[in-house]
Amino acid sequence: MSTLSQVIEILSKKGFKEDFGMTKDGFTARNSGEVLIPENIKIIKTYRFEGESNPDDMSILYAMETNSGVKGILVDAYGTYAGNEPEKLSEFLKKVKIRGKEN
């Protein structure tokens, strides 16, 4: 598993189908439109991708699950290519529980 698309495909087969991300309303499950708070979601696993020849490939993929059992992913660029409001997402993720770890 060396590429982002390969990991996304594998996670999708394991039921991680929702697309999570920041919107103007907050951290949202984009398919359902549900707005989530950090206490209602946990990070199952993270994957970091560093582009060897293309800086656009620098990203982190989060496999996440809500308290209600919805599984999905969040793909976030880092470094120079971070999203429009990286500090907003960063603050949210700092509050999210990581499976097997207490925050």
DSSP state of 59: E
- Give the residue numbers spanning the domain of 60: 4-95
The count of structural domains within the chain is: 1
Residue 101 located in a structural domain: no
Residue 61 located in a structural domain: yes
Residue 23 located in a structural domain: yes
> Pairing state of beta strands 34-35 and 41-49?
unpaired
Residue 87 located in a structural domain: yes
The pLDDT profile of the chain, 103 residues, written as one tens digit per residue, is 578 889 999 999 999 999 999 888 889 999 988 999 999 999 999 998 876 666 556 789 999 999 999 999 999 876 544 555 667 888 889 999 998 665 4
